[in-house]
Amino acid sequence: MAAMGTVRACAPPAAAASSTRDTAPAPQRMNPMKSSKSGRVLVIGGTGRVGGSTAAALSKLRPDLSILAGGRNREKGESFAAKLGEQSEFVQVDTRSASMLEKALQGRYSVMQRNTLLLIYPVAPDVCVDLVVHTAGPFQRAEECTVLQAAISTKAPYIDVCDDLNYSWRAKGFHEQAKTAGVPAITTAGICPGVSNVMAAELVRAARSENGEPERLRFFYYTAGTGGAGPTILTTSFLLLGEDVIAYNKGEEIKLKPYSGSLSIDFGKGVRKKNVYLLNLPEVKSAFKILGVPTVSARLGTAPSGIGECRFGNPRAGMDSFCAVDTWHTCLDAILNLRDISLRFSLITSHLGPIQEFLRDKNNVQKLVESVDPLVRAVDGIAGEHVSMRVDLDCSNGQNTIRLFTHKKLFVSVGFATAAFALTVLEGNTQPGVWFPEEPEGIPMEARELLLERASEGTSNFVMNKPSWMVETDPKEVGLGLYV
């Protein structure tokens, strides 16, 4: 097991150790870095794209917070902590090690400073970290909720940016344990899922307050390129293509093929119409179960578009991610150019079903990611980083309302979205237990407006509870020859 350590940005020099013996100086006790009033947040995966963006957003929204960036790469972590500011530190931690996780959450880690070992003692006897934010994906195919379990055992509040259906409900399975331990926790607390769930919950609440009965809820997502996605998120993208889509139609669960059911959706100014496709996303089931809407689905799309191009997108940070290709044949065209001969052969001799089986194997997907990553990065340089979310609600009375969220920089937006959830928990709004964003015990109705305000920092288009025609870019006839 690798040793655990931290580096504190701009930490003051250590005091000289006094000793009457001719031996090495004993470890010194260091006073707590911050009082519990200011708060200490550990971001697991803090040196990655999602975690780093979250740490940066937290520092901007709450400069008084002490940010602990948790990761495995010491060199990268120390550099990031130094750039983030004097309130930040790097904590070396591996999510595969329960003992490392618990020590990090309890504040039992060491700092090497000028060749002197300093021991940092817990801020409080029960909760040493005021919040842990889990951004270290991919969550697909993960069999254990190690970070959540460590948070419960150390009584540390918790959120994650899980974008996997199975993982999110596995986390929900720890609800009673978290409730008994007095630990508030929210799963799928990123941008989409996460902010999109809250947008949907507000649409449903508003409709029912006006005596409307929700009948159909649809999530639509778009991103330009990958938004700068790294290999981890690209892995998540391919893994999603290996999963059947779970959706709901008039109260019945249905299974559909991934990347089917194409629709052309207008995302309003700055994005306009884009093709989107069905994928297996966790907000569909949570919205169906919690919000009680009988028909629910989610679709994603990306750019650039066109036959012969393989495009990979990620509006699902942290792993909020997806891979979009025009057809399976287009994806196969890209696979034909892979360097790995054995990998190439296995896919050439397959068709849709076998390819989907292939993508269910994490090892196969990692090889695939290594091969296409240069292509993806090249496309990113052309496509840009826009992200847009549109949530549509149709009611029995014929009323249609939408919420729209567009940002020019995906990973900036992801950071503020996750930070908004983190601050909601830090401010004491979340009850003990494991919750989805739609649940009022996780995000109370009175806290939703502030969460969305924080998450929408820097958006180019943010529309709440409007008819779809009011945000779409094509003129529509409203009667008597009038167009809007």
Q: What is the pLDDT of residues 312-328, one digit of tens each?
A: 344 443 333 333 333 33
Tell me if 167 sits within 8 A of 140, measured CB to CB: yes
Q: Identify the pLDDT of residue 378.
A: 65
| Mean pLDDT of all residues in 78-83 | 88
Kindly state whether residues 384 and 415 are assigned to the same domain.
no
pLDDT digits (tens, 9 = 90+) for 384-398: 688 999 999 999 999
The verdict on residue 476 lying in a domain is no
pLDDT, residue 241, reads 79
- Considering only the C-alpha atoms of the chain, give the largest distance between any 2 of them, rounded to a whole number of Å: 97
- Is 130 part of a structural domain of the chain? yes
CA–centroid distance for 215 within its chain: 28
Domain carrying residue 63: 28-192+411-456
- Weakest mean pLDDT among 111-115, 192-196, 373-377, 413-417: 111-115
* Structure tokens, 75: 């060199």
| pLDDT tens string 263-303 | 999 999 989 999 999 999 999 999 999 999 999 999 998 77
pLDDT at residue 52, as a whole number: 94
Who wins on pLDDT, 411 or 120?
A: 411
pLDDT (0 to 100) of residue 385 = 80
Mean pLDDT of the chain: 78
421, 375: one domain? no
| CATH number, domain with residue 166 | 3.40.50.720
Q: Rank 357-361, 380-384, 445-449 by mean pLDDT and report only the highest.
A: 445-449
Question: What's residue 304's pLDDT?
Answer: 60
pLDDT tens, position by position, 51-77: 999 999 999 999 999 999 999 888 888
Is 402 contained in some domain?
no
The DSSP letter of residue 291 is I
Cα–Cα dist 451/459, whole Å: 14
Phi then psi for residue 253, to 5 deg, are -75, 135
Regarding whether 163 and 220 lie in a shared domain, the answer is: no
> Using CA atoms, how far apart are residues 174 and 145, in angstroms rounded to an integer?
9
Looking at the structure, tell me whether residues 183 and 311 fall in a common domain: no
Is 477 within a domain?
no
Q: Cβ of 74: how many Cβ atoms within 10 Å?
A: 16
**β-strands 40-44, 131-134: how paired?**
parallel
Residues 376 and 440 in one domain: no
- Does one domain contain both 188 and 207? no
* Domain identity same for 265 and 285: yes
pLDDT band at residue 425 using 50, 70 and 90 as cut-offs: very high
The confidence score (pLDDT) of residue 383 equals 62
User: For position 17, what pLDDT does the model report?
Assistant: 36
| DSSP E strands, 244-321 | 245-249, 252-256, 263-266, 273-278, 295-303, 310-313
User: Which pair of tokens denotes residue 316?
Assistant: 């699902």
The answer to whether residue 472 sits within a structural domain is no
Most confident of 120-129, 215-224, 328-337, 350-359: 215-224
Q: Is residue 400 part of a domain?
A: no
Q: What is the pLDDT of residues 96-139, one digit of tens each?
A: 889 899 999 987 654 433 334 444 444 444 448 999 999 998 89
DSSP 388-427: EEEEEEEETTS-EEEEEEEES-HHHHHHHHHHHHHHHHHT
Cis preceding-peptide flag for 27 (omega within 30 of 0):
no
Q: What is the pTM of this model?
A: 0.79
Alpha-carbon 157 to chain mean position: 17
Decide if pLDDT at 401 tops 80.
yes
Q: Please give the pLDDT value at position 430.
A: 99
Cα separation, 429 vs 440, in Å, equals: 10
Q: Is 461 helix (H, G, I), strand (E, B) or coil?
A: strand
Exposed/middle/buried for residue 168 (C-beta within 10 Å: 0-12, 13-18, 19+): buried
209/236 same-domain check: yes
Specify the residue for token string 């190690």: 146
Say if 11 falls within a structural domain. no
Q: Are 329 and 427 part of one and the same domain?
A: no
Instruction: Tell me how many degrees the CA angle 193-196-197 measures, rounded to the nearest 5.
Output: 75
Same domain membership, residue 244 and residue 109: no
**Number of structural domains the chain divides into:** 2
Q: Exposed, middle or buried by CB within 10 Å (0-12, 13-18, 19+), for 75? A: exposed
Domain identity same for 184 and 265: no
Same-domain status, 101 and 40:
yes
The answer to whether residue 473 sits within a structural domain is no
Q: Which of 77, 53, 88, 60 is nearest to 320 (CA)?
A: 53
* Strand 245-249, strand 252-256: pairing: antiparallel
Q: What is the mean pLDDT of residues 450-462?
A: 97
- The mean-pLDDT minimum among 46-50, 278-282, 334-338 falls in 334-338
